[in-house]
A and B are shown apart, each in its own frame.
Chain A
Amino acid sequence: MNKNEHDHKHCLELFQKLSEYLDNELDQVSCKEIEKHIKKCVPCFVCLQTLKRTVDLCKQAGNRPVPRDFSKKLKEVIQNMPKTPPAG
């Protein structure tokens, strides 16, 4: 792999497709093109790895518990709604 293989135009073309590649949403030809390219282009390889790690981390973002007071309030609001919803 060589940093000098980084050709702005070609890399930019593939750079646009990296998320689709990670999500398995690319056609086979484009996938093969990316795989071939990252073997010789370090910057694009780094780009793909850091993007992949970003997606992995994002998926771990986690959820907060619903505040108990709000849950109670919501329950009351729902209970006090008119029992027949208006016709849409």
Chain B
Amino acid sequence: MTEPRPANRKKIKDKDFELIQAINSGQFDRFPDLVKRYEHKLYNFSLRMCRDEADAEDTVQETFLNVFRYLKNFRYETKFKNWLYRVAASTCIKKRRKSKFAPKRELSLDEFFPQDEAEVPDQVPKWALRPLDKLLNDELLDKINEAIFTLPEKYRLVIVLRDIEGFSTAETAQILNLSDANVKVRLHRARLFLRDKLKGYFENE
């Protein structure tokens, strides 16, 4: 959790800056405010990564304990939220290694690219044309979340951070300690994987 600090780097003053300064100056009774601010987001992030509710709860608790333990080392060189997700992602990865839900496989671009003439689409399907609000319903949302669960972990981490949590490519790369190029490759494959799942769902509808 500690990293060498380049000299004279500007501190990032985000919305959590004052709260973290207060906690680090000894106002430990303010830590629950930080928990309250992020427990909902972290719970859902952990649930998407762990799938199992009990594992997700353990992961959130462990993440906050780690944050409390290492907050003194936070140097404001990134937004606090990015640092928090870095701790959360690493806690999830450790938890997942012990979990039964751990499909591990590489996704290759070729498997999503139409290989023969019969597979080549000749028109845009209805599900990609209908207005989003006309398309969305609880069953579809369940289907999307189910499809996300079936993604191998390294792809799921990237798509959850980019398309659900809304982090940029650079932020995701920083959180996961990957290159920007690697984030882009994983994101594209994850999206193609989900696209195929959705295609299957709508074809069988």
Contacts and interface: CB of A to CB of B under 8 A. Distances in A.
A18 B60 contact: no
A19 B61 contact: no
Interface stretch (B11-19, B77-85, B93-101, B121-129): B121-129
A51 B195 contact: yes
Interface in A19-41: 19-20, 23, 25
Given A74-B35, A85-B71, A60 B188 contact: no
Q: 9 nearest interchain CB pairs?
A: A19-B188, A53-B128, A54-B195, A46-B121, A63-B44, A88-B73, A58-B163, A49-B128, A43-B120
Interface of A: 3, 6, 11-12, 15-16, 18-20, 23, 25, 42-43, 45-47, 49-67, 70-71, 73-75, 77-79, 81, 83-88
Contacts of A23: 169
B194 A88 contact: no
Contacts of B191: 19, 51, 54-55, 58
Contacts of A53: 127-128, 198
Nearest to B195: A54
Given A74-B60, A78-B32, 6 more contacts: A23-B169, A50-B195, A50-B199, A51-B195, A57-B198, A73-B57
Contacts of B169: 23, 25
B149 to A, nearest CB: 11
B4 interface: no
Contacts of B70: 85, 88
Q: Is the interface of A mostly helix, strand, loop or mixed?
A: helix
A66 B198 contact: no
Interface in B118-153: 120-125, 127-129, 132, 135-136, 140-141, 144-145, 148
Nearest to B163: A58
5 contacts: A49-B128, A67-B53, A78-B64, A85-B71, A86-B69
B65 A3 contact: no
A42 to B, nearest CB: 6
B43 interface: yes
Contacts of A85: 28, 68-72
B40 A63 contact: yes
Contact of A43 (B60, B73, B114, B125): B114
Contacts of B71: 85
Contacts of B31: 78, 81
Contact of A19 (B72, B135, B184, B198): B184
